[in-house]
Structure 1
Amino acid sequence: MLPRSWVAGARRPGPTPPAARRSRLYAHLFLWVMQSWLAMFYIGAGYAKLTQKHDLLALMMTWPAQVDTELLRVIGGIETALALFIVAPLMSWSLFRSVMLVGAAGLLADAGGMVVFHTLNGDIFLAAVNCVLLLMSLIILLGRWEWRDHAQLRNATS
């Protein structure tokens, strides 16, 4: 029998140490909790923008008075859809992982745009809330991105 180092082909890695498995499990659970919180927030906010009257929203928050009703409904629909994208892998990880990444990137862009909007309008509290949402979206996007797969693809093409 030939030594393993002489055999051509990829070597199978040995068993994963229990500490590494436990660490990955905790990271996975943390990301799911973050995704759930983010989805609940954006589903609630999007649903309110879709269903409440424009006048009522303008009374509760100052910024809806500055935009049209149609734009408010579009923002609500986009936020609701992106929130559902974030939790779509609950149905099937292999089918909806890329949808989740699109949702996280979309919520990152949405929160970034809202930070700029609220800062320019002087709503510092709402800008701070959107900074937290932006940070949560960034953590989810970076945590769920498979860096190993992309590094292997990059090495294979070069």
Structure 2
Amino acid sequence: MTIQTLTPARSRLNASYRNLTLWTLQGWIAMFFVAAGYAKLSEPMSNLIDLMRWPALVVPNLVRGLGLAEIILALLVLAPLVSWKHGRPLLVMATSGLLALETVMLALHAVGMDAGPAITNLVLIAMTVPVLWFRAREVR
């Protein structure tokens, strides 16, 4: 077994690729949750019930509050764009909140046998976990 050490230039290049990948994932996550939150805030409840089954099971204020929380967390995912020093802890907190939300919604959709939304949540979890993992390691 041989151990290969990276040159400083190669290490910087790898870090650059990782940073670009993480920012791309953060952008996709933010776009998805801003759109989903906006839909929950602006659409009539009858449309939301037609699109997703679960809004029929809860009070409308919970759906609206969830939409607002999704928008706030999505914007916090992009907080390092404003201030890297202060934005990274907000990013880690926001991705933790979104991961918790995605996990709960995955369980809800799986129990309700909603395959499409369950797969969407699996994809979102697969995008959020690396962002949380690598960005949390940078904060330390």
TM over 0.5: yes
Per the alignment, residue 122 of structure 2 pairs with 131
Query: Where does residue 97 of structure 1 map in the other structure?
Result: 88
CA distance change for structure 1 residues 148 and 86 in 2, over 3 Å: closer, same or farther? Answer: closer
Asked if 1 retains the 8 angstrom alpha-carbon contact of 2:30 and 2:77, the reply is yes
User: 5+ residue gaps in structure 2?
Assistant: 1-6
Who is 1:72 aligned against?
63
Deviation at 1:148, TM superposition (A): 8.8
Distance 1:104 1:148, change over 3 A: closer
1:71-110 alpha-carbon deviations (Å, 9 max, x no partner): 1001101111110110011001001110000000001000
Q: Is residue 2:112 matched to residue 1:121?
A: yes
Alignment of 1:1-158 (within 5 A): 17-146=8-137, 149=140
TM-score by length of 2: 0.90
Task: From the CA coordinates, give the structure whose radius of gyration is larger.
Answer: 1
Identity %: 38
Q: Give the Cα separation in 2 of the matches to 1:86 and 1:74.
A: 18
Distance 2:135 2:60 in 1: 35
Query: In structure 2, do the counterparts of structure 1 residues 90 and 18 end up closer, same or farther at CA, with 3 Å as the change threshold?
Result: same
Per-residue CA deviations over 1:114-153 (Å, capped at 9, x if unaligned) read 000001111022111101111211110001122694xxxx
